[in-house]
Amino acid sequence: MSLNCNEINTALDELDLEGAFIQDIIQPGYDTLALYTYKNSTAKTVIICIAQNSCRINETKKKITKNEKPLRFMEFLKSRIKGARINFCRQIGLERVIKMELSHENKTFFMYIRLWSNASNVILCDENKKILDTMLRRPGKDEITGGIYSEPEVSDKKPKKNFEVRTFEELKEEYENTKASQYKSFDDLSFNERLDLFYSEHSETLGREALLEKYEKWFTEHHTKLTAALSKLEEKKYAFSLAEQKKHQGDLIMTFASQIKPGDTYLECSDYETNSTIRIKIDPKKSAHANAQNYYEAYKKEQSGFEQIEQDIKLTKEKIERLEQDYESIKNEPNPVRIEQMLRRDTKPKQQEKKTHPGLSYTVDGWYILVGRDANENDELLRRHVRGSDMWFHTRDCPGGYVFVKYRAGKTIPLEIMLDAGNLAVYYSKARKNGRADLYYTQVKHLRRAKNGPKGLVLPTQEKNLNIILDQKRLNRLDAIRQQQEGI
């Protein structure tokens, strides 16, 4: 439960922050901030939490855990108000919004702490109330950098409900069984100490429920999308399953070619499989052989598409299964910090994830394969991501991507890994349509850059030859490996 207006005033009165200095700022999570203050030889750690159902401000004696990576708002606050003096700190009316005036290096700042469960925030403004930054960016409320913060209007009306300040007596028995009770009885605990005790006991449950609710919403959205995609793939699979019919129509055209007359747009003949009369559409400008060839090519295309669709269906089903497994893991995870980490990992947009290298990568049986798909990626991989002992693969006399297999000390590249690399080299080249190609391979140290040539062009020496016939099953396996490793 979040603090009510009277509890906020009680906590602030005990904190007595006016005249204190902010020595440091720590942000352990996206919804929690800790101000390390110092006044009259007394240091206090003030925790500000804006998590749903846990909005509060109070002193804490607990150790604040730093986040793995410094968060944006914390770094911003440190640059502006670390070392600042708190001139005053009080609630605006009974609106559950705390206004804090800060002065630092001849500048004045206002920090607003809004402790509303469904719209909480921490906002730092300049002396003109222009927003410098916010803990949570809310464009709908104009709470973004550059906006103007409007203080809530103080109502003259008395609150309809008499908000009582909780005593947390329900914690007394449990507290008295702890070592802390040897130093201080429960009755002697200040309101801030009782708050710290209550939220230490219950914040994990409260925070966990909010995080699970957030993750459930994300899970439902993505599960629905994947299920819809699977349904469309199943429909395509059925359409491609009719490819045999195209081949049969080509056979019928060749069988009854003598019946086709100049200008005919249809061939009407007897289907020897069903003993029924059928009509097959043909191009009057083409010969019977050419028309049959059109149907054979359509058959090959759809047959190939059928295999790819089956692979896509398999991968989509695996994604749905992984998503469901992750959801079950999160539902059974008692630690809210761990849930937040999992949530942050899963919900982060892929375009925001920092790539360590251009192109594609695969880890197969401990071997690391890098693939450049164009001249820019080829050049970048050559310049910054491969070394002399790494192996380079490229199609002979045909433009295409570079494939590298990273060197492993004391290991010789197995044939299967070479075939994986070779298939990738042919697939990401102009030779893909042919279904096969000659390629050469050599160590990177035997490559020499061509003078005045196109970007990424190299001249190999000590190269060896390899002839590759594209293996769709091998490519499907590699694609599945990559998607699983990247969490696509």
Residue type, 226: L
Q: What is the dihedral of CA 89, 93, 98, 103, to 10 degrees?
A: -40
Q: Is 360 helix (H, G, I), strand (E, B) or coil?
A: strand
All residues at 6 or more sequence positions from 185 whose CB lies less than 8 Å from its CB, including other chains: 176
Q: Which tens digit of pLDDT belongs to each residue from 110-122?
A: 999 999 988 899 9
Closest by CA position to 427, among listed 383, 473, 391:
473
Instruction: Give how far Cα 105 sits from Cα of 1, 84, 101, 131, 478, Å.
Output: 38, 8, 14, 19, 59
Report the C-alpha gap between 153 and 160 in whole angstroms: 17
Closest by CA position to 488, among listed 225, 153, 145, 266:
225
pTM of the full structure: 0.48
Residues 69-81: b if buried by 16+ CB within 10 A, e if exposed: eebebbebbbebb
Give one DSSP letter per residue of 221-255, joined into a string: HHHHHHHHHHHHHHHHHHHHTTHHHHHHHHHHHHH
Report the C-alpha gap between 24 and 35 in whole angstroms: 6
Per DSSP, 95 falls in state S
Q: Which tens digit of pLDDT belongs to each residue from 23-50?
A: 999 998 888 899 999 999 999 999 999 9
Whether 462 contacts 446, CB under 8 Å: yes
Question: Over its length of 488 residues, how does the chain's per-residue pLDDT go in tens digits?
Answer: 789 999 999 999 999 999 999 999 999 888 889 999 999 999 999 999 998 778 999 999 888 877 777 889 999 999 999 999 999 999 999 999 999 999 999 999 999 999 998 889 999 999 999 999 999 988 878 888 999 999 998 877 766 677 899 998 988 888 888 877 778 899 999 999 999 888 875 555 445 666 777 778 888 888 898 898 888 888 878 877 777 888 999 999 999 999 999 999 999 999 988 899 999 999 999 999 999 999 998 888 777 667 667 777 888 888 888 888 888 888 887 766 667 666 766 655 544 445 677 889 998 888 999 999 999 999 999 988 999 999 999 999 899 999 999 999 889 999 999 999 999 999 999 999 888 999 999 999 999 988 877 888 899 999 999 999 999 889 988 988 887 777 65
Closest by CA position to 148, among listed 110, 118, 96, 114:
110
